[in-house]
Chains A and B, each alone.
Chain A
Amino acid sequence: MIEDVFRRERSRVLATTIRVVGGDFDLAEELVQEAFVAAMEAWRDALPDEPRAWLLGVTKHKAIDAIRRRVRYRDREAAMALEQQVREELSPSGDIDLPDDRLRLVFTCCHPALAQEAQVALTLRTLCGLTTEEIARAFLVPATTMAQRLVRAKSKIRDAKIPYEVPPKSALPERLEAVMQVVYLVFNEGYAATSGEALVRRELCGEAIRLGRLLVEITGEPETRGLLALMLLHDSRRGTRTSETGELVLLEDQDRSRWDRAAIDEGLVLVEQALRGGAARGGPGVGAYAVQAAIAAVHARAARADETDWPQIAALYAVLLARWPTPVVALNHAAAIAMSEGPAAGLARMDELRDQLIDYHWFHAARADLLRRLGRTRDAAAAYRAALARVGGEAERRFLEQRLAALAIVTA
């Protein structure tokens, strides 16, 4: 219960605190941490009516203490100004939902003067409240490496004075690209949680969608609509992606009547806007998010799995692959070809990707499925085992184990 409040409020309280203490991430994190420790004690019996106001109030007192502790003879005047700012702006009254602060936080975390891996790490840490260990696991690096990455990023923000601001319109397109990449990575972290028991960490997806809406609102850029559409269309299936016992359910087996119609309707409108807006823009035209959203839209429009327009999906993946040639896009293209032209054609495509995707568990799982459909049971079993050897998430592991077990029943 308290944990839920913490998770929900941390980034909001932090975003405002960073601004009020003059862009000092470390100090702000320290203060917010202290406020949360105090809350653990004070909220033992009951939550306050306004947890965010409570947290901001305590953070304010902690901030004033910290500023006084840090005062040196020479910067006394600056410290007094800072204290004044803290008193005025951290007063927990009136409208305390401050979306602008979170936007400032997004753009600062995704500043191009930081390496992209640092941008992602910082966004997940400060905005989404993931622990350093969780982020490290998500990106397959040791926790110490991730901790160093975060420290370096924060010291660059401080020492090079990266501003805690929403960039001016003239700089928006460049800055937005970086933000969109990070937002989508956050969504995926929530949607396909790479660690732990819970397959879907709802609040991360919600967070990413909220950020996506904010980007659409302030920029109106077609590609932000593409990104938001993509996230909404994926998220619309959230409730059907796992069974009641937490098992993974494939797209073709999902109960489509339980897909979130409101999210789909909103997503479909946004896809149209993104595609039309991107095409009208000329130049690079339609962006990668819009094309991916268009693919998700084809799935969303099919009332039954066997009504899916697979040739259309394969064609959209071909567009994606031509402009953004990555092995994972190629794998999806191959899977779409398997659906529209048959498993043998898809398998031939997949086998060309072996060297690049040998460590990716879904590569082996996708191959296994095609081998199974071709009746090559023994090869399919070997491919499922290869996938199992590389899988990280618990639900995905159970899913693969079941598929493997189902094969054994067929052969027995």
Chain B
Amino acid sequence: MQYLLMIYDDEKIWETMGEGDRGKMHQEYGAFTQELKKSGKFVAGDALQPVRTATTVRVRGGKTTTTDGPFAETKEQLGGYYLVECANLDEATAIAAKIPSAKIGSIEVRPIMKYDMP
């Protein structure tokens, strides 16, 4: 079963973080990702560019509208993700709790939908 671990945190915290703290976070992320890969549960994972680079697209009545910014303004933004292969939700939440950003933001854990195609 695959789960998407969506990392939500406040970009401002990252921006105002001292060099030392940011370096430490990056180190923790590096170590975490290594460990996850070694466990065989890592499927994919990336960090996203800041939300100021986001563009939102909608198609309404055949007309495409492209606008600057994210779909919704929120205090925490989607900053990255891991896609993991786990036996169950408890495994996935245990991994989510180890993501360094869990200490400053929150991780949303969502199971990937499987379609039963004959």
Contact = CB atoms under 8 A, between A and B. Distances in A.
B118 interface: yes
Given A113-B89, A167-B90, A161 B111 contact: yes
B93 interface: yes
B48 interface: no
8 contacts: A75-B116, A159-B111, A160-B111, A161-B88, A162-B89, A163-B87, A163-B88, A165-B88
Q: What 4 A-B pairs come out closest when comparing CB atoms?
A: A163-B88, A161-B88, A160-B111, A162-B89
A113 B93 contact: yes
Contacts of A111: 89
Interface string B20-47: 0000000000000000000000000000
Contacts of B57: none
A165 B90 CA distance: 10
A51 B18 CA distance: 69
- Identify whether the interface residues of A are mostly helix, strand, loop, or mixed: loop
Nearest to A159: B111
Nearest to B111: A160
Contacts of A167: 90
A75 to B, nearest CB: 8
B116 A72 contact: yes
B118 A73 contact: yes
A381 to B, nearest CB: 55
A73 B116 CA distance: 10
Interface string B77-97: 000000000011110010000
Given A113-B89, A161-B1, A165-B88, 11 more contacts: A73-B118, A74-B118, A75-B116, A159-B111, A160-B89, A160-B109, A162-B90, A163-B87, A163-B89, A165-B90, A167-B90
A167 B89 CA distance: 12
B71 to A, nearest CB: 23
Contacts of A159: 111
Contacts of A171: 90
A18 B116 CA distance: 22
Contacts of A162: 88-90
B96 to A, nearest CB: 11
A92 B89 CA distance: 31
Nearest to B114: A159
A165 B88 CA distance: 10
A171 B97 CA distance: 12
B31 to A, nearest CB: 20
- Determine the interface band of chain B, counting residues with CB < 8 A from chain A: 10 to 19
Interface residues of A, number: 14
Contacts of B117: 74
A161 B92 CA distance: 10
A381 B93 CA distance: 56
A162 B118 CA distance: 26
Contacts of B88: 161-163, 165
A163 B88 CA distance: 6
Nearest to B93: A113
B63 to A, nearest CB: 35
A74 B90 contact: no
A91 B109 CA distance: 38
A393 to B, nearest CB: 39
B116 A74 contact: yes
Nearest to A23: B88
B89 A161 contact: yes
Interface string A60-72: 0000000000001
A167 B109 CA distance: 19
Interface in A112-150: 113
Nearest to A164: B88
A163 B90 contact: yes
Contacts of A75: 116
Contacts of A160: 89, 109, 111
Contacts of A73: 118
A162 B88 CA distance: 6
B89 A72 contact: no
A72 B118 contact: yes
Interface string A67-86: 00000111100000000000
A70 B109 CA distance: 29
A171 B116 CA distance: 34
